[in-house]
Amino acid sequence: MPAYTYRIPPQQPRHFAAPVLVATSPASPPPTHVVTGQGFFAVIAPVAVKVELAGSLAVYGTGQGFPTRYFGLGNVTWASLNGPIRNTYLEHQTELVICPFANPAFLYYSIAYGLTATITELLVP
């Protein structure tokens, strides 16, 4: 299965653009990080990250609706060299978190106990 990245159409401002999935070369898979607990890592200027949670989700509270919305799974925070910029709480088993600014330097994470997150950087092709 090919890896996917997001491409922002150049004619639209970044914050209004609808991301488009495009296949990337299998020779250059996007950077992937498997993490638990709390910490951070340097990123390679992604436009978004895909966060996939694995573990015992059944012990966390849920809201009504589909897909299932969970509470207390953790969060990810985009950061520049000057510090944290935008925090996003994780509410779904698989979630797309779009970066609100150009050229992020770090991604901080806090993942709930018992869960493992696979975080895939989605780069501009």
How confident is the model over 18-70, as pLDDT tens digits?
Answer: 444 444 455 578 899 999 999 999 998 889 999 999 998 888 888 888 888 99
> CA–CA separation, 108 vs 40, rounded Å?
4
User: Is the pLDDT confidence value at 79 over 60?
Assistant: yes
Q: Is the pTM of this model over 0.85?
A: no
Question: β-pairing, 94-98 with 106-111?
Answer: unpaired
pLDDT for the residue 26:
53
Looking at residue 28, what is its pLDDT?
Answer: 72
DSSP character at residue 30: P
For β-strands 69-70 and 62-63, DSSP reports them as: antiparallel
Domains of the chain, start order? 30-122 (2.60.120.1300)
How far is 118 from 78, CA to CA, in rounded Å?
Answer: 16
Question: pLDDT value at position 53?
Answer: 96
**Contact indicator for 75, 84 with CB cutoff of 8 Å:** no
Tell me what pLDDT residue 103 has: 87
**pLDDT for residue 112 is more than 60:** yes
Q: 């059944």: which residue's tokens? A: 58
Q: How far is CA 43 from CA 13, 15, 47, 89, 118, in A?
A: 22, 20, 10, 19, 14
